[in-house]
């Protein structure tokens, strides 16, 4: 398993390089620059600024300079947040985004697996149809619609929860963002669990377990749950990516000072280094999560061998 993990990590380096190259070219191809404003700067001042930040160099030279700094762990200065480096901005905001994403994924896994299992055990019943109708609704409605609707009903009309991050303290301000992020993932996981559980429950070893006198709870817990989780584990890597990209919208809606808010602000302000730093961090996290999902897959399924 150690050799397999090392090979996967080494194989991820070309993928990360492609992501960095594409992101670098895209942010530099966008119209405008990081120091454009309504007031036109004198040409001498603009030339001095470009020289200070090496923006006057050819694009290939800028890229290799940036890569050499990234290898040393330096994402460079932020063009808009003048007193902060990109590393400082990400280090201060990433824990908040990680907290939101972790709580949302935990909620999605627990509720989605429970709902999908109940639907599988009550196949074609009213409970099954209700769960699947909820799942289809959650898949169809995007996060940027779910979040404002939750704010309207739970925060504005019922006043049960705070509508935004600022002006509130404690765990209550986490509930609406976490629920907004988790609902689409709950829907996907519930559908995957239902389909997988139905397939596993029809297997011969499940019939053997029932013939030995085991109850439904024991069959699910000790025999059906682990093999039914294989599609869920495979889905976890892309699901983490969905949580991360969804957090960009959610953080903007709720005013959360996470990485997503800096990403949007950096993109609007053409803050090249900030956008590139966040893209690299996201790419590393997604590659790492996919590797962890593959390793967990091998733990759950003993037939998988890492050679």
Q: How far apart are CA 232 and CA 240, in angstroms?
A: 12
3-state secondary structure of 77: strand
The pTM (predicted TM-score) of the whole model is: 0.80
- For every one of its 307 residues, what pLDDT tens digit does the chain have, with 9 covering 90 and above? 677 677 777 777 888 888 888 888 888 777 776 766 656 667 777 777 777 777 777 888 888 888 888 888 888 888 888 778 888 888 888 888 888 888 998 999 999 999 999 999 888 889 889 988 988 888 888 888 888 888 888 888 888 888 777 766 777 788 889 888 888 889 999 999 999 999 888 888 888 888 888 888 888 888 888 888 888 888 887 787 777 766 778 888 888 888 888 888 888 878 888 888 888 888 888 888 877 777 777 677 665 665 5
Domains identified in the chain and CATH numbers: 91-259 (1.10.3720.10)
What is the phi/psi pair of residue 287, to 5°?
-60, -40
- The number of C-alpha atoms within 13 Å of 270 and in the hemisphere containing its C-beta is 12
Give the Cα separation of 231 and 132 in Å (integer).
Answer: 18
Region for residue 270 given its phi and psi (left: phi exceeds 0; alpha: psi -120 to 50; beta: otherwise): left
d(CA 130, CA 122): 11
Place of tokens 């890229």: 63
């Amino acid at each position: 398993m150690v050799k397999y993990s090392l090979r996967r990590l080494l194989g991820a380096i070309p993928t990360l390089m492609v992501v960095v190259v594409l992101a670098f070219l895209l942010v530099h191809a966008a119209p405008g620059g990081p120091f454009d404003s309504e007031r036109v700067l004198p040409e001498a001042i603009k030339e001095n600024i470009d020289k200070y930040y090496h923006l006057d160099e050819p694009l290939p030279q800028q890229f290799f300079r940036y890569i050499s700094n990234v290898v040393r762990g330096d994402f460079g200065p932020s063009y808009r947040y003048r007193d902060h480096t990109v590393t400082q901005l990400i280090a201060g905001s990433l824990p908040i985004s990680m907290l939101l994403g972790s709580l949302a994924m935990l909620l999605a896994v627990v509720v989605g697996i429970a709902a999908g299992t109940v639907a599988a055990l009550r196949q074609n019943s009213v409970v099954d149809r209700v769960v699947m109708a909820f799942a289809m609704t959650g898949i169809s409605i995007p996060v940027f619609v779910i979040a404002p609707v939750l704010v309207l009903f739970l925060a504005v009309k019922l006043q049960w929860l705070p509508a935004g991050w600022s002006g509130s303290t404690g765990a209550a301000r986490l509930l609406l963002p976490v629920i907004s992020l988790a609902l689409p993932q709950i829907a996907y996981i519930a559908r995957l669990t239902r389909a997988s559980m139905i397939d596993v429950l029809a297997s011969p070893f499940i019939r053997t377990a029932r013939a030995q006198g085991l109850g439904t709870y024991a069959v699910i817990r000790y025999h059906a749950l682990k093999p039914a989780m294989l599609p869920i584990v495979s889905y976890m890597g892309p699901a983490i990516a969905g949580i991360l990209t969804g957090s960009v919208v959610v953080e903007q809606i709720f005013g959360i000072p996470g990485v997503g808010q800096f990403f949007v602000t950096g993109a609007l302000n053409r803050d090249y280094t900030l956008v590139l730093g966040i893209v690299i961090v996201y790419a590393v996290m997604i590659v790492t999560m996919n590797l962890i999902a593959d390793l967990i897959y091998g733990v759950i399924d003993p037939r998988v061998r890492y050679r």
